[in-house]
Homo-oligomer: A and B are copies of this chain.
């Protein structure tokens, strides 16, 4: 019996992914020049499939980087001259905040106890802040933001860029790109692929901001500065030789998801999440970490554990099921369950059946 990874990412692959890799090898994707028209065709196809899947308008660039974390770094380097604002509700939001500090920018940081969610209208954002950074789905705490809140936040801060970390959110959570300037994700989560590719979606208007950051004599990075990335993206190219295999496979995965019934991802994700939360709401020893039902993530479910975590992991692994430990300081207190589109309802039922025996 093969293993099932209910991890929050890297996670279970779509069963089709290995076939897509085989296809890429047959089509010589790894050997073709990244400056050839054949390669540009690959990029174009992937971009078009992602535009369709995530409802991204034409006025956004797709930059192909190496990870979600690289996306954070390039965003700060290119779009912040002096100050960014960070709503920190977990370790990944904190990482974004810390990257800004490491890059010698000032930060305005709003903290909240991990496991809780922000009500953005309660906070006063510094007038000199240039960017507001949000984590749509906090993988470390299992807190998700209601996308409608982001719309309101942008409406109240039209002079600032709104940047959304959507790493474990897409493709289930959707954004209204009329109210988002930048979003990014990596492929080893909801896209069920091997890691090694980060996708950065940037409103073309942001290029003006890059020029103003350069005018302030700030370093915007080197090969992956947005001027260079935009120039290449216009030609469906990349700044340097990229992970072409992954770009190809991402296009195939997005195409596969586009060919599903449009309601499929939503309804199954919500159904599986309900099964999981409903069950653990009945248990006291393994209980949802996020109390507010409306803030609970549908894609990365974090559970507070009062019993022996190693014993749980061992028993599941004995049954060929792998879940994630808690993140950082929560390693001895939490377990985390990934609930992405490739995880099937019968597999969730089996997971809960096993938990019932623990």
Contacts and interface: CB of A to CB of B under 8 A. Distances in A.
Interface of A: 3, 5, 7, 9-13, 17-18, 21-22, 25, 28-34, 65-70, 72-73, 76, 95, 98-99, 102-104, 186, 188, 193-197, 219-223, 225, 239-246, 322, 324
A227 B95 CA distance: 16
B66 A195 contact: no
Contacts of A9: 241
B67 A241 contact: yes
Given A70-B66, A102-B225, A222-B103, A242 B31 contact: no
A241 B103 CA distance: 21
Contacts of A246: 196, 243
Given A66-B66, A67-B241, 19 more contacts: A5-B28, A5-B31, A11-B31, A13-B30, A13-B31, A29-B194, A69-B223, A70-B223, A72-B223, A95-B223, A102-B222, A103-B221, A188-B241, A194-B245, A195-B241, A195-B243, A196-B245, A196-B246, A219-B219
Instruction: List the 5 closest pairs (A to B, CB-CB), nearest first.
Output: A196-B243, A30-B194, A66-B66, A102-B222, A99-B222
B32 A10 contact: yes
A25 B12 CA distance: 11
Interface centre among A18, A65, A239, A240 (most CB of B within 10 A): A240
Contacts of A73: 221-223
25 contacts: A3-B28, A5-B31, A9-B241, A10-B30, A10-B34, A30-B193, A30-B195, A31-B322, A65-B66, A66-B66, A67-B240, A67-B241, A69-B239, A73-B221, A76-B222, A95-B223, A102-B219, A102-B220, A103-B219, A104-B219, A186-B241, A196-B196, A196-B197, A196-B244, A219-B219
Contacts of A33: 7, 10, 324
Nearest to A189: B241
Contacts of A239: 69
A29 B194 CA distance: 8
Nearest to A12: B31
A35 to B, nearest CB: 8
Contact of A102 (B10, B98, B221): B221
Contacts of A324: 33
Contacts of A30: 10, 13, 17, 188, 193-195
A193 B107 CA distance: 41
Contacts of A104: 219
Contacts of A196: 66, 196-197, 242-246
Nearest to A244: B195
A26 to B, nearest CB: 9
Contacts of A240: 67-70
A186 B298 CA distance: 38
A194 B98 CA distance: 33
